[in-house]
């Protein structure tokens, strides 16, 4: 029996070694592959001496943010929106007019919210009323069933008493039972 254990231990060790090697190749394999591929490519390109000269880039330097949008450096732009007549008209309105517009807007939003809330409340009341009617029906049906059960139980009790009376009379007359 101890030999079987050592065989299974050796088998387990072998499986673990294979698993470790496969895991290491899975993790390191792609990096090693690309490194060797690039080394071979570079070696082949140096040995073949292709006629492609190195690129000389004559590109202008990248533009700075100040060159792209010079107005960004000066945050106090005085003529902002002066070309837009709608914006100019809005900016010329009196402060009181702007406040009254804001109040009207808030009032209309409040009215819309109130309408929505009232509709939702009416729907909730309707559904609650429907559920209450259904509950009342269930209660009435339960009461009817309970009354019928009580009547049946009373009748059964009477029948048992009558059966005992008749059985007693039958025994007095000589009946021995089943």
Torsion angle of the four alpha carbons 48, 51, 53, 59, in this order, in degrees rounded to the nearest 10: -130
C-alpha–C-alpha distance, residues 6 and 66, integer Å: 77
Per-residue model confidence (pLDDT) at position 68: 65
Which are the contacts of 91, defined by CB distance < 8 A and separation ≥ 6? 81
- Predicted model pTM: 0.35
Q: What is the pLDDT of residue 170?
A: 93
Q: Report the distance separating Cα 104 and Cα 96, nearest Å.
A: 12
At which residue do the structure tokens 């010329």 appear? 92
Backbone angles phi and psi of 106, in degrees to 5: -65, -35
In order along its 178 residues, the chain shows pLDDT tens digits of: 455 556 777 888 888 899 998 888 888 888 778 887 877 776 666 555 555 666 667 777 766 666 666 655 555 555 565 677 777 777 776 777 888 889 999 999 999 999 999 999 999 999 999 999 999 999 999 999 999 999 999 999 999 999 999 999 999 998 887 7
């Amino acid at each position: 029996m101890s030999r079987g254990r050592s065989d299974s231990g050796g088998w387990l060790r072998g499986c673990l070694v294979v698993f470790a090697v496969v895991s290491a190749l899975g993790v390191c394999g792609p990096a090693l592959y690309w490194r060797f591929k690039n080394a071979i490519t570079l070696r082949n390109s140096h040995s073949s001496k292709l006629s492609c000269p190195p690129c000389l880039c004559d590109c202008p330097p990248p533009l700075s943010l100040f060159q792209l949008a010079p107005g960004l450096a000066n945050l106090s732009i005085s003529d902002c929106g002066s070309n837009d007549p709608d914006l100019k008209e809005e900016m010329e309105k009196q402060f009181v007019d702007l406040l009254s517009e804001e109040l009207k807007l808030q009032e209309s939003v409040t009215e819309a919210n109130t309408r929505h809330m009232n509709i939702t409340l009416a729907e909730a009341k309707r559904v609650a009323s429907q559920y209450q009617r259904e509950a009342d029906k269930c209660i009435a049906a339960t009461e009817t069933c309970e009354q019928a059960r009580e009547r049946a139980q009373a009748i059964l009790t009477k029948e048992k008493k009558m059966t005992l009376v008749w059985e007693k009379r039958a025994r007095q007359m000589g009946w021995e039972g089943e």
